[in-house]
Structure 1
Amino acid sequence: MKTAKCRVIVAMLIILAVLAAGAGLARSHQDVWLKNEQGDRISPRENSADPYSPRKTCGGCHNYNLITSGYHFQQGFDQMSDRYDAKRPWLLSPGMFGKWLPTAAAGRLAAKKNTDPRQMDLTTYDWIGAGKYSAGNKVAAVACGWCHPGGGPLEYGRDALGRADRTGNLIAGEKSNKAALDGDYSAAGTPDRKSHFRESGVVEADCLLCHHGNYRFHDRNEQLNRRNYRWAATAGAGLGKVSGAVFTYHRPGAGPGEAGFKDGSWNFSKRPVTSYDWLNGRLFGTDGRMKGGLIKKNVAAKNCLQCHGEGDAKNTGALHDPAFDAHVRSGLICTDCHGLIGNNTRERLRHQIVKGNSTLNTVRDDLDHVGMKTCTGCHHGDQYKPKRDGMPKEAKNPQAVHNRKFPKATFHTYLVACNGCHAVAQPARGMVEPRHAN
C-alpha cells in the first residue's frame, strides 16, 4: 500500500514539474529566424554577413506599422511640416524631431526646403549619427539618434512641404531626390555634401532596445557614429561583431576644441560585414535561430534608463537612483507607473506610453495624464494594486501622519501638490526644469 502511494506521489510531482516547465516555456518567446532587409533568412549557411532587419524579423509576426505609430518612435514626425508654426518657423513639429531643445539636441533640424546653407544645422542624415565617443568611451559629441529607438523619421523622409512621406524609405527617397540643400538628403561632412543612406542604411525601429535583457546601448550608438545605421540593431543586441565603417574618425580620442575633432574618412565602396556569434548557445540554437529567451515582454528599468537616465539627470537634475528616489527605493520600476495606454491589446500595441505633462516637451499633448497614476490616486484613493512580484504590498496612506504632525494645516493636502513638499534637494543640477507638478 505504501509503495503504491509513493508511486502516486512521485507521478503527481512529475506531472506538476512538467506543467511548470510548460508554463515557463509558454511565457518565453519562441526562437526566431533573423531576416535581412530583403526578408531573406540569415543563418550560418546563408546571408551570414548581413545585419538583421527588425522590420523584417520582428514585423513578420508583429504589427510593425502599428507599433511604430507610438510617440517614442514618431517624436513629432507624424505632425511635422515646414509650415508647422508660422510665428516660430524654426519649429517643425511638437516633438524632439523638429522642435529645437537647446539642452537635449546637438543642433536644430533643417527644414525640408532651404535656400541658403546658413539656414541648415542638422539634416536628417546628420541628426541620426553625427556623434562621437572619446577614447575612454565618454561622450565627446552627442548624436540625436542615440536616444531614438528607430523607425519614423529615422526610416522615412519628408515630402516637398516637409510632411512625413511613407511612400518609400530614406534610401528610396535619396535615390529620387536631386534638390540642393534638402533637409533630409544633404549632409555637412560628406565629400559631396549629400546624404548616403544607400551605404549607411536606415535605422529601423529596434524592438530589442527595450525588450532585451542585456542590450548593448553603447555598441549600438557606436555604429550610428560610424554611419553604419543598418548595423546598429545587430550590434546593440550583441549578436556578433561588425567589421568596417562608412565613416571613421581620424582622431578618435580628440575632444571638442581640439584640432581634427570632427575629421574622418568616408567609405562608400566596401560594405561593413557582420560576423554572428553562431556558436554561442545563449544567443543561437543549433539551427541558427536566435534564442527566444533573449526577448523580454516586460521592459526593465535599465532599458528605459539607457535614454532617460543620463538625459534626465543632465536636463532636469532628476536622478533615478535608490539613494534619491523613494519610489525606486521601494522596488517600483518605470513601467509600474508608465505603462501602455489602451483598454485592449490593439490599443496597447500602439506603444503610446503613459506620461504626465511638460510645458517644454510637447509631443502628443493630447495624451497627457491619460492612464497616469497620481500621488493621491495611489496613496489616498485605493488605486494602488501590486501587479508583479517585487512591487510594494501597499502605498501607505499619509493622511493620519499629516493630521498628527499638522493638525491645523490639513487643507494643504488639498491645495498644495504633494511634490511641493516632497521634492528633495537633488545633488545633480539640471540645465532646465521642463517638468512641473505632473
Structure 2
Amino acid sequence: MLIQFKNIRFLLLVLMLPILLWAKDHKSLHPAVRLLDQHGTPVIQSGEPVSTDKTCGTCHDYQYITAHSYHVQQGRNEFFSKDNSSDYFPDYVLSPGMFGKWCSLPNRLLAAHSVKSIEDFDLGTPEWVQKCGTCHVGGGPSELDRQNRRYDTVDEKDVKGINPDYFYVKNNQLKKWDWQKSGVMEMDCFLCHTTNFDRLSRDEMLRKGQFKWAVTATLRKTGIVTRGKNGWQYNRQLFDANGFVSADVLQIIDPTTENCAQCHGFGTSGHQSFNPIFSNNILRGTLKMGRVFSPEFISESNLNIKGKDSLNFAWDVHAERLVSCSNCHYSVNNPAYNKLDPDENLGHLKFDPRIPDVNLYLNKPSHEFAKGNSCPETVADHLDNTMRTCQDCHDASQAHGWLPYREHHFKRLGCETCHIPIKKMWAFETADWTVLKKNGKYIETIRGIQGEITDSSALIIGFQPAILPRVSKDQFSNYKLMPYNLITSYYWYDQSAKRPVFTRYLKQIYLKKDKNGQWDYKSDIIQLFDANKDGKLSKMELRLDTPEKVEFIKNKLKEMGIAKPVIHGEVTPFSINHNVIDSKYAIKDCNVCHSPDSRLFKEMELAQYVPPGTDVKYAEFCAQCPDVKNITVKRSTGLFFNPGPLLKCYYIIGHDRVKWVEIIGVLSIFFSLIGIVIHDIIRVIRRHRS
C-alpha cells in the first residue's frame, strides 16, 4: 500500500513538472493581449490611447461589467426621482453614490440635470472626472452622460441648455467642456488587474483634462508606453507583429491588496515597511478610519509611533494570515464563493448544485463586490451585508471559554469592539469648511498624532475608537456595539436655498491672486484673523471662534446673494472593521467595560472649537439608534461626543445605576433587618415567659 502511494506521488510529480517549468518563466496564466484603440485598431499602428472596451471587451463583456459595478457607476444608475425618492437624503442630493451625493468632506454638489443658471451650478461632470476621478475607476459617469450617450460622440447641437454633463465653472463663469479634445475615461481595468500600475501618471492625465489617456498612463511602469515631448509613445519592442503584448509584461492578475489600497487606505500583502507621509495626497481609507491593512509588525515600521517597541503584532492579523481584500469582498457571481441565497432558499437545501458556469463567469464577471453596511457608504444598498462576516469564518463559541455569558456578549457586541481596542494610526477629526486655506481647501484637524502627518518626527499616539450601537446583519431590532471614528464637519448652509453654500463663494471672500499669480488672503481677512499681527495666518488663527468673525463672513455672503447663511455642524461615524489585532492582545478584562470608568462611555473629542451659534448634529442618514439626541457636549475646550444617549438601550453591569432599583434594594435590606430584630425580640420574650 505504501509503495502504491509512493508511485502515485511520483506520477503526480512527473505530471506537474512541465507546469512548474512553465510557471517558472511565466508570471501570468492570462493569454497575450492585443491592445486596441476605440476604433478597434492596434495601438501600435494608430498611436491612439488604449481602449479597454475594445481590448478587454474582446473576451469579457465590457458593457455587462460596467453596468454591474458600483465602483464604476457610483450612484449614476440610482438617481433619485419621483418614483425613486430618498427617505433620508435632503432634496439637493441626486443619488446615494459619490456621483450625485453631497458629502461634507469634499463639500461639492453635483449640478442637477434641470439646472437653469450658474447660481444653482456647483460641480459639472467634467470637473467631477478631473477632481474625483483619481479615486474612481472610470467608465459610468466618466464615459456616458445621463442619457447614456458617450460624451465624445454627441454633436454640439444636441446639447440643450446648461447641461451639467457638458459644462463646468471656471473663474465664476460657465464654460463648455470639449469632450472631443479630452476624450472619455473608460473603465480602467489595469488599475486593479496589473501589478505595475501607475496611479500618479493616471491622475496627472485627469488633472490636465486628457481623460482618454488616463488608462494608457496607468501602464507606464510596465514599459509598454513612455511619455516624451510629443506625448505618449508605445515601445514597439514589447509588441509582436499583430499588436499583442505578453501577459507577463502586462502582469495581469486577480486584484491584490495593493490594488485595492490605491484608494481604500494603506495596505500590502507583503512585509514592506511603512514610511512617513510627505504629501497630503493620502488615501481616504487611512484618513477617515486610520486603516492600515498589512502583515508587517507595527514595531518594524518606520513610523514614529508611541511605544512602538512593545507593539510586536501585525497591523492586521488577517493580512498576516494571507487573507486579501477579495477573500471577503468577492464578486457576487463568482462560482468559487457561491452560497445559498437566504431569500431563495427552500429551507431543506444544504447545498445548491446550480453553481454558475465558470465560462459564463469569465465572460460576464459581475463587479458588484460583496460589501458590508458602513453607514456613510450608501451606494448599492441592495448589496449591504453580502460580504463574509467574522461569524462566516470563526466559531466564537470555541475560542471564548473564559468569557461569562458568552451568547449574551455575542448578541450585543461586535467582534471588532474587543478585537480592535485601539488604532495605532492617525485619522480625521475635523474638516472646517467655514474658512479656507490658500489652496481653497478646508482646515483639517487630525486625531492620534502630535503634529502634522507630513512631519516624520511627529509622534503618532493613535486613538481609541468611539463605541456606537449598530444594526446587526438582518436583525434591525438588534443593535450591536461597534467601534467608529467620528468626523466632524463645519460648513456654511443657505437656509433660503436649502442647500450648502458653494465653495467658490468662500474663495471670493477669502482669497485673491498676488502679483506672481499665487493665491493669498485678502487684506481684510488678514486683519480679521491675524491674532499675533505677524501678517500671516496660521492654522490656529484660521477659526471662526468669535461672534465678530462669524458675523463678518456672514455679511460677506449676504452681499453675494446668499440670503440666509448659517453654519452647520455634522458628525459622521465611519465604522472601523480593519486593523484586527492578534487575539492575545484583544480585550479580556471585564473591568474595561464593567466598571464606573467603562470604556464604552469614554468621551471622544470631536473638534477643538465650535463656531458661535453652530448647531451640531449627528448625520441624519447615519442614525444607528432610535431617538438620538444630545450626543455632543460643548465646552470651552471644544466639542465632545457623549455616548450616553446612544447607549440608553443598554444596561452595563458595573457602570449603570437605576435609582429605583437601588431604593428597592436598600428598603429590602432595611425591612429584612427590621424583620430579624422583631423576630429575635419575639423569641426572647417567649423564652422569658416560658
The answer to whether the superposition gives a TM-score over 0.5 is: yes
* 2:381 matches 1:365: yes
Determine the C-alpha separation between the residues in 2 that align with 1:353 and 1:17.
36
Does the aligned pair in 2 maintain the 1:36–1:42 contact within 8 Å? yes
Offset at 1:119?
1.2
Determine the C-alpha separation between the residues in 2 that align with 1:178 and 1:27.
45
Q: 1:58 is matched with which residue: 34, 56, 59?
A: 56
Deviation digits for residues 174-227 of structure 1 (CA, Å, limit 9, x no counterpart): 634443432111022399710111100001011111000110111111110111
Deviation digits for residues 40-82 of structure 1 (CA, Å, limit 9, x no counterpart): 1222xx213x111111111122100111121111111112156
Q: 1:100 is matched with which residue: 99, 102, 116?
A: 102
Q: 2:214 is matched with which residue: 229, 232, 235?
A: 232
- Greater strand share, structure number: 2
Deviation digits for residues 224-249 of structure 1 (CA, Å, limit 9, x no counterpart): 011110001111111313457xxxxx
Does the aligned pair in 2 maintain the 1:174–1:197 contact within 8 Å? no
Counterpart residue number, 2:186: 204
Counterpart residue number, 1:418: 415
Counterpart residue number, 2:235: 277
Offset at 1:325?
2.0
* 2:55 matches 1:37: no
| Structural mapping, 1:60-209, within 5 Å | 60-69=58-67, 70-81=69-80, 85=85, 88-103=90-105, 105=106, 107-129=108-130, 143-158=131-146, 165-166=147-148, 168-173=149-154, 175-189=156-170, 193-209=175-191
Amino acid in the other structure paired with 1:35: L
Counterpart residue number, 2:279: none
TM-score normalized by structure 1?
Answer: 0.73
Amino acid in the other structure paired with 1:196: D
Deviation digits for residues 109-134 of structure 1 (CA, Å, limit 9, x no counterpart): 111121221211110000001xxxxx
Give the secondary-structure state (helix, strand or coil) at the position aligned to 1:156.
coil
Higher relative contact order, structure no. (Cα contacts within 8 Å, ≥ 6 residues apart):
1
Offset at 1:150?
0.8
Offset at 1:144?
0.7
Amino acid in the other structure paired with 1:434: F
Counterpart residue number, 1:140: none
Does the aligned pair in 2 maintain the 1:319–1:428 contact within 8 Å? no
Determine the C-alpha separation between the residues in 1 that align with 2:406 and 2:55.
59
Offset at 1:374?
1.3
Give the secondary-structure state (helix, strand or coil) at the position aligned to 2:162.
coil
Q: 1:149 to 1:202 in 2, by over 3 A?
A: same
Amino acid in the other structure paired with 1:292: A
Give the secondary-structure state (helix, strand or coil) at the position aligned to 1:146.
helix
Does the aligned pair in 1 maintain the 2:28–2:247 contact within 8 Å? no
* 2:33 matches 1:18: no
Determine the C-alpha separation between the residues in 1 that align with 2:134 and 2:400.
44
Offset at 1:286?
6.4
Residue correspondences, number: 356
* Structure 2 portions without partners, runs of 5+: 1-10, 266-282, 299-314, 339-355, 429-486, 488-571, 579-690
Q: 1:289 to 1:408 in 2, by over 3 A?
A: closer
Give the secondary-structure state (helix, strand or coil) at the position aligned to 2:191.
helix
Determine the C-alpha separation between the residues in 2 that align with 1:435 and 1:15.
49
Greater mean alpha carbon deviation, residues 307-316 or residues 196-205:
307-316
Counterpart residue number, 1:354: 370
Amino acid in the other structure paired with 1:187: Y
Q: 1:15 to 1:336 in 2, by over 3 A?
A: closer
Give the secondary-structure state (helix, strand or coil) at the position aligned to 1:402.
coil
Determine the C-alpha separation between the residues in 1 that align with 2:240 and 2:13.
30
Determine the C-alpha separation between the residues in 1 that align with 2:376 and 2:576.
10
Does the aligned pair in 1 maintain the 2:226–2:232 contact within 8 Å? yes
Does the aligned pair in 1 maintain the 2:27–2:251 contact within 8 Å? no
Offset at 1:367?
1.0
Counterpart residue number, 2:392: 377
Taking only the aligned residue pairs, the percentage that are identical comes to 30
Does the aligned pair in 1 maintain the 2:28–2:251 contact within 8 Å? no
Counterpart residue number, 1:292: 247
Does the aligned pair in 2 maintain the 1:127–1:145 contact within 8 Å? yes
Greater mean alpha carbon deviation, residues 413-422 or residues 348-357:
413-422
Determine the C-alpha separation between the residues in 2 that align with 1:169 and 1:341.
28
Asked which structure has the greater CA Rg, the reply is 2
Does the aligned pair in 2 maintain the 1:35–1:56 contact within 8 Å? yes
Amino acid in the other structure paired with 2:369: I
Give the secondary-structure state (helix, strand or coil) at the position aligned to 1:188.
strand
Computed over aligned residues only, the root mean square deviation of the Cα atoms, in angstroms, reads 3.0
| Structural mapping, 1:335-346, within 5 Å | 335-342=326-333, 343=338, 344=356, 345=358, 346=360
Q: 1:350 to 1:338 in 2, by over 3 A?
A: same
Q: 1:220 is matched with which residue: 194, 202, 206?
A: 202
Does the aligned pair in 1 maintain the 2:145–2:151 contact within 8 Å? yes
Determine the C-alpha separation between the residues in 1 that align with 2:367 and 2:21.
30
Does the aligned pair in 2 maintain the 1:403–1:410 contact within 8 Å? no
Q: 1:14 to 1:367 in 2, by over 3 A?
A: closer
Determine the C-alpha separation between the residues in 2 that align with 1:361 and 1:148.
14
Give the secondary-structure state (helix, strand or coil) at the position aligned to 1:433.
strand
Offset at 1:376?
1.8
Does the aligned pair in 1 maintain the 2:28–2:252 contact within 8 Å? no
Counterpart residue number, 2:615: none
Offset at 1:313?
1.2
Q: 1:13 to 1:326 in 2, by over 3 A?
A: closer
Offset at 1:351?
1.1
* Structure 1 portions without partners, runs of 5+: 1-10, 130-142, 159-164, 245-271, 381-397
Q: 1:289 to 1:106 in 2, by over 3 A?
A: farther
Does the aligned pair in 2 maintain the 1:80–1:92 contact within 8 Å? yes
Determine the C-alpha separation between the residues in 1 that align with 2:416 and 2:55.
44
Give the secondary-structure state (helix, strand or coil) at the position aligned to 1:153.
helix
